[in-house]
Amino acid sequence: MASRRTPSLTSLPRAPRDEESARVRHYIITMGIRVVCFILMVAVTPYGWYTWVFGIAAAVLPYFAVVIANAGSDNKEPTAESPQMQLAPPSQEPVAPPAEQPRTITLHESRPLLDAQNDSAEGDDESSRE
């Protein structure tokens, strides 16, 4: 039977919420750069070779923004780190036994005699009625 080992905290992948927020942040930054390229393409005069660079960047950046946003971190395999190797071994000092044995209290319960007689009398009445 294979033993189930609990993964250590350092070997767990990023939380989906954190991963999603990082992807959205990268997408917004890339699209912001695209908007800046559009503005620079129109605003910078006289037009020259850099106008074409800004135009091509503005046309190509959405593709890269979507690819980066959809890629996620699925291709990154986290390496397992064992926290046990970093811990110091426990001390080998013997544990002293307790000075005295703990006392055990045992309770024995029994029905009072009167209740037992009433129950048997009621049982007799029911059997005689049938």
* pLDDT computed for residue 84 by the predictor: 59
* pLDDT computed for residue 55 by the predictor: 93
Higher pLDDT among residues 90 and 104, named by residue? 104
Q: Which residues contact 108 (CB under 8 A, 6 or more apart)?
A: none
Say if CB 57 and CB 41 are below 8 A apart.
no
Mean pLDDT of 27-33: 94
* Cα 67 to Cα 23: distance, rounded to the nearest angstrom: 10
Calculate the alpha carbon distances from 21 to 12, 118, 123 in Å.
18, 75, 74
Q: What are the tens digits of pLDDT across the range 36-93?
A: 999 999 998 888 899 999 999 999 999 999 988 888 665 556 566 666 566 666 677 7
pTM: 0.48
As a 3-state breakdown, the chain gives helix, strand, coil percent values, each rounded to 5, of 60, 0, 40
